Amino acid sequence: MLDILVTLDTGTKVNIEIQLNNAHNMIKRSLYYWGRLYTSQLQKGMPYSSLRKTITINLLNFVMFLKYEAFHTIGILWNQQQQKVLSDDIEVHIVELPKLMQQWRNEQVNPWEDSFVRWLLLLPANEDEQLTQTLEDIAMNQDPILQKAMNKWERMSQDSSFRQAYEAREKALMDEAAKYAHARKEGIEEGKIQLIRGMSKNGMLIEDIAKFTNLRIEEIRNILQV
């Protein structure tokens, strides 16, 4: 996880979070951080009118909305009866990077024409040589700001202290992902054990439990004996 806090010239507060693993709490987490950032603007004695629009942007390295194709989702505060925005002070953006990468590979999005797409694709570009080359071509031919960003990244990556910090961060993120995957696997296994014990308690035969769970009869017996 990486957080960046930005204040725009208009006073709008923006919190950008990069999330690698799906902890299945993203919406509540985003609303929590939005609420903290929004209320932190108000000091003692200040009027509510001093509160400024607050935006949270969640860049996810996993798919959150499986049933929807769009890689970018925006949540707002909506007045259902009047069918209009109740307040534009809250804005929650969710960007699913795996969807974006797949749409780029399928040529459903065009970074040459869409600056939003090209800047987002810069995040996973190091994982795809073709994408890196495409972005370099765009930077060289039509986007000087992107060129500046890529040049700065290149200079920083050549600095030994930055490279060590970056590699340490990469290792920490990989360790976090591995820890999450292990915890999830253990959770699934524990859930299966409880299911097996529950089926046995309800009178299901060991043979039927084995068929249902795709485990050997000997494994079922070992679980029930613990």
Reading the block at residue 42, the tokens are 């108000």
Residue 114 makes CB contacts below 8 A (sequence gap 6+) with none
Check residue 62 and report its DSSP letter: S
Task: With 0.75 as the threshold, say if the pTM is over it.
Answer: no
pLDDT at 112: 96
For residues 221 and 1, what is the distance between their CA atoms, to the nearest angstrom?
A: 42
Where exactly are the structural domains of the chain? 2-109, 171-225
Residue 217's pLDDT is: 84
**pLDDT of res. 208:** 82
Q: Supply the pLDDT for residue 175.
A: 63
- What separation, in Å, do the N-terminal and C-terminal C-alpha atoms of the chain show? 38
User: Running along the chain, 226 residues long, what does each successive block of 10 average in pLDDT?
Assistant: 84 91 83 93 91 95 90 95 95 95 94 95 88 94 92 76 61 62 57 81 84 79 74
pLDDT at residue number 12: 96
Whole-number Å distance between alpha carbons of 221 and 14: 55
Query: Which pLDDT does position 66 carry in this prediction?
Result: 86
Per-residue exposure over 35-59, b if at least 16 CB sit within 10 Å of its own CB, e if not: eebbeeeeeeeeeeeebebbbbbbb
- Whole-number pLDDT of residue 154: 79
Q: Which residues pair with 132 in a beta bridge?
A: none
